[in-house]
Structure 1
Amino acid sequence: MTSHNDTAKVWDLIDKIGFCMLATQDGRDIRSRPMSAYTKRRDGAVYFLTDVASHKDEEISRWPNVCLAFADTKGQSYVSVSGAAEVSNDRELIREIWSTPAKAWWDSPDDPSIRVLKVNPSFAEFWDSPGTVVSYIKMAAAAVSSTRPEMGENEKVKL
């Protein structure tokens, strides 16, 4: 059973990491690309700004199940999120989640080619360790003592 703490941990890690690889289906192939995530916990959703001309919009319309892979390699924290995606032209939401990184792709939130990609997560798994240096020390100690290292938290979470 998923605990409130595990659910909160998933959202905290997503917020902390911020960027992910969005994996979509393209026929029999899986395609990933880096995306900047915006979360709204009260909606239970992860949002992205995307362009109307992008291939991912077409892929999502045909195969809405996606995976978001968040990775903080220095902090040794990872989250994998599965869910259903949809694309909309919600201009109010676009203005709400607009931020400086979006300026790399569009001049303003009023650009008519911007769309919102919303992911409704259904499942997540996270791995959160004490960090690279501590992890290496634990792995070395385990190798010497022929034991398994305690590498931090790993939980599967139904959202």
Structure 2
Amino acid sequence: MSNDDVQRVWELVEDIGICMLASRDGTEIRTRPMAAYFDRRTDLIYFLTDVASHKDEEIARDPHVALAFADTSSQKYLSISGVARLSNDRERIHELWSTPAKAWWDSPDDPNIRVLEVSPHDAQYWDSPGTAISYVKMAAAAFTSAKPEIGENRKVDL
């Protein structure tokens, strides 16, 4: 693993921005789309969440989560595993406040907003040269005995 791989993980988080956050509800795994905010100073990923949401209860019982990012138009994918923690950090809520949050809350001062902080353990990313090139390479490989070279795949310890 190189520092370039770690930097690529953080670039993908910032570029894609929306992920599916998976948490455990007993024996079931639940996912939901969330807007991710990466802080390069702390290497933590933050989300705004509501105090009354089910994911908060699930994370309180089992803090292990998975984040799945996908940009299908450019064929870039990222999966992150980590541990989540809920907080009522009002300063952080103000830092993370953005226009999309207005769909859920009136202002950053809404007492129902919480911060979900994910400390990543590891990540895996897939970078391909793009849909058209990938399809051409896969089609060519179908007619030969070679495996297609359709981009980079890395597992990265964070």
TM-score, normalisation: structure 1: 0.98
1:100 and 2:105 aligned: no
Residue 15 of structure 1 deviates from its aligned partner by 0.6
Q: After the TM superposition, list the runs of 4 or more consecutive aligned residues in structure 1 that deviate by more than 4 angstroms.
A: none
- Structure 2: which 5+ runs fail to align? none
- In structure 2, distance between residues paired with 1:29 and 1:40: 30
- In structure 1, distance between residues paired with 2:46 and 2:58: 17
Counterpart of 1:110 in structure 2 is 109
Please list the CA deviations of residues 52-110 of structure 1 after superposition, one character each: whole Å capped at 9, or x if unmatched: 00011111111000000000111100000000000000000000011111111011111
Counterpart of 2:58 in structure 1 is 59
Please list the CA deviations of residues 34-64 of structure 1 after superposition, one character each: whole Å capped at 9, or x if unmatched: 0000000220110000000001111111100
Q: 2:59 corresponds to which letter in structure 1?
A: I
Two-structure CA RMSD over aligned residues (Å): 0.6
Counterpart of 1:12 in structure 2 is 11
Q: 2:60 corresponds to which letter in structure 1?
A: S
Residue 146 of structure 1 deviates from its aligned partner by 2.5
Counterpart of 1:132 in structure 2 is 131
How much identity, in percent, do the aligned residues show? 65
- In structure 1, distance between residues paired with 2:40 and 2:78: 16
- In structure 2, distance between residues paired with 1:121 and 1:146: 38
- In structure 1, distance between residues paired with 2:34 and 2:6: 22
Counterpart of 1:78 in structure 2 is 77
Counterpart of 1:153 in structure 2 is 152
Residue 142 of structure 1 deviates from its aligned partner by 1.2
Residue 145 of structure 1 deviates from its aligned partner by 2.3
- In structure 2, distance between residues paired with 1:41 and 1:78: 20
Residue 143 of structure 1 deviates from its aligned partner by 1.2
- In structure 1, distance between residues paired with 2:105 and 2:67: 23
Q: 1:111 corresponds to which letter in structure 2?
A: D
**Which has the larger displacement, 94-103 or 138-147?**
138-147
TM-score, normalisation: structure 2: 0.98
